[in-house]
Amino acid sequence: MTTPSTSPRPLRIGMVGYGFMGAAHSHAWRTAHRFFELPLTPVLATLAGRTEATLVAAAERFGFAQTTTRWQDLVEDPEIDVIDICTPGDTHVEIAIAALAAGKHVLCEKPLANSVEQSEQMTTAAAQARAQGARTMCGFSYRRTPALAYARQLVAEGAVGEIRQVRAQYLQDWLSDVDAPMTWRLDRDKAGSGALGDIGAHIVDLTQWITGQQIASVSGTLQTVVPTRPAAGTAQGLGGTGEASGERREVTVDDLALFTARFDSGVLGSFEATRMAQGRKNAMRVEINGSAGSIAFDFERMNELEVYDATAPAGRQGFTRILTTEPEHPYAAHWWPTGHGLGYEHTFTHQIADLVTAIGEGTDPSPSFEEALQVQRVLAAVEASASDGSSWRSTDPETT
């Protein structure tokens, strides 16, 4: 009988929040070192949340050793190495700045915060803490979808030639029912914005990352289609069933966000984010059209990337469906034999693997808080444009 060799040194995780993202992150922290060779072994140390009973149940389910109803306990605990922020946007700035001041590494869910000002404060704190060795990352997890990471590689290799147009949509339908109950995601004070920040932020980040270009200006429109929702109801998944005849509360964020963007190269992009597109469950779609071809992706078919080669002989042209499950594709070799496919949760596991590698190697993980601040500037410019008759708005801090 042989004993497995000793694991690398532990990396102790303190997580704040235990909803949808808390579950996704905990799973990733537990799984990453089993499939990726990491310089440190993540250990689920302490879970923080406000409501003792549900907190304790979540900690047991996710595998945390301890709980606390004060997130400050995580920051004050010298045994905790990483603070993982999985709470609504209104809490990010305070927790992140306290954690960084205590020298912790920080992973923060997207969008980075609820305003550009808060994001700037967090980015300044991150820059100061970096000098002491603290690493920061914002959770734009879709970057770690193998097909999208591969799309980025293809664009960088020139597979689409010169980029001419960008098209991005993030379509969900969990708010289609007018009696779906009120949640924090519909409350501006908690979430900052609606479809724009919740899911539009992902396609802003992704298109900038895949193209290697930044959005310089935008013109947008926002709409709240259902202005009030039942105050009470039974939550199910992201939505649920509200008490249709009971008290209703005002929805203070957008249901739909539509905008046009001009990248710094001059390329134009169209963006659409909605949580009311009946039948579209998690259709996050990106298409890049260039002089030599196109690439197209839809998260509802996340193991596929469509590539069109305009230089192929006439008569043999057409979109090729590449199954991005092969050892040649980013992340895929760590998982299953050829063709077996990955799911939503794997994007989070890849995110954790990359973060732990960066912490262990003392390098800066991406997306950094700086990159996430730039996304926040785009969101703010869309809001400013929408409130001003869809005027074009710059994302440059010097001109806004």
How far does Cα 137 stand from its chain's mean position? 11
Q: How many residues bind ligand SOE (CB under 6 A)?
A: 5
Within 339-358, the residues that bind ligand SOE by CB under 6 A are none
Question: Of 55 and 196, which CB lies nearer to ligand SOE in the complex structure?
Answer: 196
Q: Is 198 in the site for ligand SOE (CB under 6 A)?
A: yes
* Of the candidate residues 106, 148, 199, 379, the single one contacting ligand SOE (CB under 6 A): 199
Question: Distance between the two ends of the chain, CA-based, in angstroms?
Answer: 67
Within 211-250, the residues that bind ligand SOE by CB under 6 A are 238
- Residue 373: how many CB atoms within 10 A of its CB? 24
Question: Of 23 and 101, which CB lies nearer to ligand SOE in the complex structure?
Answer: 23
Question: Of 106 and 199, which CB lies nearer to ligand SOE in the complex structure?
Answer: 199
Q: Is 20 in the site for ligand SOE (CB under 6 A)?
A: yes
CA-CA distance, 191 to 155, in Å (whole number)? Answer: 33
Q: Is 172 in the site for ligand SOE (CB under 6 A)?
A: yes
Q: How do beta strands 105-109 and 136-139 pair?
A: parallel
Rounding to the nearest 10 degrees, give the CA dihedral for residues 299, 302, 305, 306: -50
Amino acid code (one letter) for 367: P
The string of DSSP letters for 49-105 reads -S-HHHHHHHHHHHT-SEEES-THHHHH-TT--EEEE-S-GGGHHHHHHHHHHTT-E
Question: Of 273 and 356, which CB lies nearer to ligand SOE in the complex structure?
Answer: 273
Q: Is 255 in the site for ligand SOE (CB under 6 A)?
A: no
- Residue 321: how many CB atoms within 10 A of its CB? 12
* Shortest Cβ 166–ligand SOE spacing (Å): 20
Q: Is 184 in the site for ligand SOE (CB under 6 A)?
A: no
* Shortest Cβ 344–ligand SOE spacing (Å): 7
Chain residue at closest Cβ approach to ligand SOE:
198
Question: Which residues bind to ligand SOE, rule: CB under 6 A?
Answer: 20, 172, 198-199, 238
